[in-house]
Amino acid sequence: MIGTSTRDALDGAVTAIAAAGCESPRLDAELLLAHVLGVGRERLLTERELTVEGPAVRAFQDAVRRRSIEREPVAYILGRRGFRRIEVAVDSRALVPRPETELLVEVGLRLSNGARLLDLCTGSGAVALALKEERPDLQVVGSDVSAPALQLAQENARRLGLEVRFMQADLLAGVEDEFDAILANPPYVAESERASLAPEIMRHEPHEALFAGADGLAVIRLLIEQIGARERLGTVALEVGAGQAGAVAELLRGAGFATVDTERDLAGIERVVVGERSLGERSRA
């Protein structure tokens, strides 16, 4: 591949990545080559004189190998992922932020001025940091049971220059009742779904952030039990799996949230369940 054109390099990469069964081989190849060359993806299409040579040859071969043979997520290979208006560093310490998780940010944006917010199961910190970037008035805290994930989140906060506090906690155990709202992308994949998950997920993403018992609701049930006794808490938004929204909505109603709605993702799936309650309802919970 020494001195080869970007077109030829891309064609070979697309063939290898497609043969591995990846869903978007052309996009993957373009993102990887642009990363290796240190250029914007659009330049691969507009500047025909670009070539792949020198150290870039081995670097691109390695990136294509990781994507096609190891089935490593593109975001992990690039070391970053765009989320809302920010870009966060990502690696195997935390899940790759998904577009549907941006729905949690949309809920947070509706909170009143100066509200105190907990982004629970924060992972890379994407939700907490995106909210702080768009709503500096919010008092945002991120929590996670995973120390490596929290380290990644703190690294992202420092790099982005955003003042978000992060703390280690197993759901709400030991967490003060000081928050007006909780947003969470908890584990919600059923154990029975392991065999159906893509290699990118099963081989590379942290399983403790994915699986939650036989029906995928074990963590959510425990969390909602803890939430019910929180007198200050007025808003809860939980990301859930396909087909789980109805059961989670009932759990929230049982915890004293009289108003429960769902937010659909771009595929039309009820992806985020939002519960709200008044001050009077909180005191009766």
- pLDDT single digits (tens) 75-95: 999 999 999 999 999 999 999
Same-domain check for residues 106 and 56: no
236: part of which helix (H) or strand (E)?
strand 235-239
Q: What is the pLDDT of residue 14?
A: 98
**What's residue 47's pLDDT?**
86
Is 89 contained in some domain?
no
pLDDT at residue 185, as a whole number: 98
Burial-class residue 281 by CB neighbours within 10 Å (0-12, 13-18, 19+).
middle
How many C-beta atoms surround the C-beta of residue 166 within 10 A? 22
Per the domain annotation, does 80 fall within a domain?
Answer: no
Residues 105 and 242 grouped into a single domain: yes
**Amino acid found at 273:** V
Instruction: Say yes or no: 8 and 126 in one domain.
Output: no
List the strands of the sheet with 181-184, edge to edge. 165-168, 139-144, 116-120, 181-184, 235-239, 270-276, 259-264
The domain total for the chain is 2
Q: Is 97 helix (H, G, I), strand (E, B) or coil?
A: coil
Cα separations (Å) of 285 from 117, 236, 261?
20, 14, 19
The whole-number pLDDT of residue 236 equals: 98
CATH of the domain at 176: 3.40.50.150
Task: Using the CB atoms, write b or e for 130-149: b if 16+ within 10 Å.
Answer: bbbbebeebbbbbbbebeeb
Q: How big is the chain, counted in residues?
A: 285
Strand 86-89 to 80-83 pairing: antiparallel
Q: What is the model's pLDDT at position 1?
A: 42
Q: Is residue 153 part of a domain?
A: yes
43 contact partners, CB below 8 Å, separation of at least 6: 34, 50
Angle at 256 between CA 142 and CA 227, to 5 degrees: 25
Torsion of CA 88, 149, 36, 55, to 10 degrees: 150
**248 in the same domain as 152:** yes
128 in a structural domain: yes
Is position 152 within any domain? yes
Nearest to 75 by CA among 57, 55, 51, 99: 99
Q: Which residues of 200-216 are buried (b: 16+ CB within 10 A; e: fewer)?
A: bbeebbbeebbbbbebb
pLDDT score recorded for residue 281: 58
Strands 165-168 and 139-144: parallel
- Quote the CA–CA distance of 100 and 77 in Å, as a whole number: 21
The enclosing domain of 51 has a CATH number of 1.10.8.10
Segments forming the whole domain that contains residue 151: 94-284
Return per-residue pLDDT of the chain as tens, 285 residues: 456 899 999 999 999 999 999 999 999 999 999 999 999 999 998 887 899 999 999 999 999 999 999 999 999 999 999 999 999 999 999 999 999 999 999 999 999 999 999 999 999 999 999 999 999 999 999 999 999 999 999 999 999 999 999 999 999 999 999 999 999 999 999 999 999 999 999 999 999 999 999 999 999 999 999 998 898 999 999 999 999 999 999 999 999 999 999 999 999 999 999 999 976 555 555
pLDDT tens profile 11-32? 999 999 999 999 999 999 999 9
Per-residue confidence (pLDDT) for residue 279, from 0 to 100: 63
